[in-house]
Amino acid sequence: MADLLRTPLYDLHLELGGKMVGFAGYDMPVQFAGIMSEHTHTRTKAGLFDVSHMGQVLLKGPSYQQIAEAFETLVPMDVLDLEEGRQRYGLFTNTQGGIEDDLMFANRGDHLFLVVNAACKAADIAHMKATLDPSISVEPVTDRALLALQGPAAEAVLSDLVPQVAEMRFMDVGVFDWSGCDLWVSRSGYTGEDGYEISAPAAQAEALARALLAHEDVEPIGLGARDSLRLEGGLCLYGHDIDQTTRPIEAGLGWAIQKTRRPGGARAGGFPGAQHVFSDMAGGPLRRRVGLRPEGRAPMREGVELYADAEGGQPIGQITSGGFGPTVGGPVAMGYVPVDLSDPGTRIYGELRGKRQPVIVAPLPFVAAGFKR
């Protein structure tokens, strides 16, 4: 544990009774009051998450157009037409069409602001520095924390401190003053609920967290509930549900590739592995990520092998994320299965402790999103 990095909120986590664990090289709280209660609190009121382990990066250059055109050589998303003050979900792809990381990127007028996964941030930054046009500077942000305020009460809570955020739509971004410091705010998150992600100067992060926690509707939330919330929301976890061997279409992420970057679009292709991604679009992938509802009360977790039949045969897939869904009231999971077994209602089997148990393919998400459109 001595080698783990600490976020600017580390001391506050200890003060609040956080149970600390190593995660992506950081000492992070897995829970405070308990995963079940934290999950439910976020779904019904508002939860405050420390996500400062994530990577924050600025891309700067001669003009937004040049930055966007350069960035489009790395991602299959429409960056050039993204409106100022708006954010988009993105994917770094490799030459085989696999996903190197997923990320968020925002048009901040004269530059792009990126948030990338903690475990991938060093590789992502190195990748961008090595491959982007030399006129584009890649600047890691190392002096800011990142907080997420999630849940149906998030707007009321944050607007008490920063009134302008009440007018934001889902995936809007903005810079707002709070107590003399700039907050970089996006209306987004990783729980399926309405909420905000807030980048704050490291020196003011604890004060901001305390101001938010002072509201009666806000409780601190750890990594455990963050995982169960995103699983119920059908959201991918990098390194589990998607990785370098997973292509966007089989992962159910084709929606993130805008028309202009698809075959026949104004700027079709031009990103790594485009031919493989387009092949999946044209002919369909061999497998798909699906929701799974194990029958009974026992959760089926990552690594559980899936079978077409109750006895005999070879595995046809594997669970990539799984656990108990507190809002659903039972076990939920995601995994990959052949296309012909991917329709909702299909019965397959997961092998749990040497015995095959029925699993029903289910639509995603398990809990409907509460984003403000």
Strand 355-362 vs strand 347-352: parallel, antiparallel, or unpaired? Answer: antiparallel
Q: How far is CA 172 from CA 11, 175, 221, in A?
A: 31, 11, 24
Q: For residue 61, how many C-alpha atoms fall within 13 Å in the half-sphere facing its CB?
A: 20
The C-alpha atoms of residue 293 and residue 59 are separated, in whole angstroms, by: 41
Positions in the chain whose pLDDT score sits under 70: 1-2
pLDDT in the model for residue 47? 98
According to DSSP H, which parts of 132-195 are helical? 154-161
Packing angle between helix 202-213 and helix 154-161, nearest 10 degrees? 120
- Give the model confidence (pLDDT) of 11-36 as tens digits: 999 999 999 999 999 999 999 999 99
Burial of 134: CB neighbours in 10 Å, binned 0-12, 13-18, 19+: exposed
According to DSSP H, which parts of the chain are helical? 10-15, 35-44, 64-71, 121-131, 154-161, 202-213, 223-232, 274-283
Nearest to 24, CA basis, from 121, 132, 140: 121
pLDDT in the model for residue 373? 81
Burial of 371: CB neighbours in 10 Å, binned 0-12, 13-18, 19+: middle
- Give the model confidence (pLDDT) of 89-115 as tens digits: 999 999 999 999 999 999 999 999 999
* Domains of the chain, start order: 1-283 (3.30.1360.120), 286-373 (2.40.30.110)
Nearest to 199, CA basis, from 60, 26, 56, 28: 56
pLDDT in the model for residue 183? 98
Q: What angle do CA 262, 268, 274 make, to 5 degrees?
A: 75
Q: How many helices (H) and strands (E) does the chain have?
A: 8, 19
pLDDT in the model for residue 1? 53
Report whether 195 contacts 212 (CB < 8 A). Answer: no
